[in-house]
């Protein structure tokens, strides 16, 4: 196998780019199978493919922002358990942490960009 430079590599088609974006979103769910997998998998995929397409970089930034936001929301809801409000908020954060990556992955596979609700652009 020959080593090709970036200029010599064949371009990825839109379908393949959409699939990589979907894998990044669904990679957030890896944490439910392997400890810290939900952090490691999307970041590794993003770092491997971010230079291939601006679309992959855009989705990677969204997924990284979502990771940080979900952790912060979870900590905040955990602290709010002391005043009972967190008892209701913590399950909502958990449900959103599962549903948003699934919806984002389905949209990404269709070639769409779906910003997660209530997740600020941090990256």
pLDDT per position as a tens digit, 64-113: 999 999 999 999 999 999 998 889 999 999 999 999 999 999 999 999 99
Kindly report, residue by residue over 28-71, the tens digit of the pLDDT.
999 889 989 999 999 999 999 999 999 999 999 999 999 999 99
Burial readout 44-59 (b: 16 or more C-beta within 10 A, e: otherwise): ebbeebbebbebbbeb
Question: What's this model's pTM, rounded to 2 decimal places?
Answer: 0.84
- CA 15 to CA 69: how far, in whole Å? 29
Kindly report, residue by residue over 10-33, the tens digit of the pLDDT.
577 899 999 999 999 999 999 889
Q: How confident is the model at residue 4 (pLDDT cuts 50, 70, 90)?
A: very low
Domain limits, the chain: 14-109
Looking at residue 20, its pLDDT comes to: 95
């Amino acid at each position: 196998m020959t080593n090709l430079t970036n200029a010599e590599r064949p371009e990825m088609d839109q379908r393949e780019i959409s699939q990589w974006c979907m894998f990044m979103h669904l990679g957030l769910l890896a944490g439910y199978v392997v400890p810290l997998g939900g952090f490691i998998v999307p970041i590794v995929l993003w770092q491997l493919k971010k230079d291939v397409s601006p679309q992959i970089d855009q989705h990677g930034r969204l997924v990284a922002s979502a990771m940080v936001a979900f952790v912060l929301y979870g900590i905040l809801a955990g602290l709010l358990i002391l005043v009972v409000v967190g008892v209701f908020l913590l399950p909502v954060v958990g449900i959103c942490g599962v549903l948003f990556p699934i919806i984002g992955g389905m949209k990404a596979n269709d070639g769409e960009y779906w910003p997660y609700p209530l997740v600020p652009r941090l990256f």
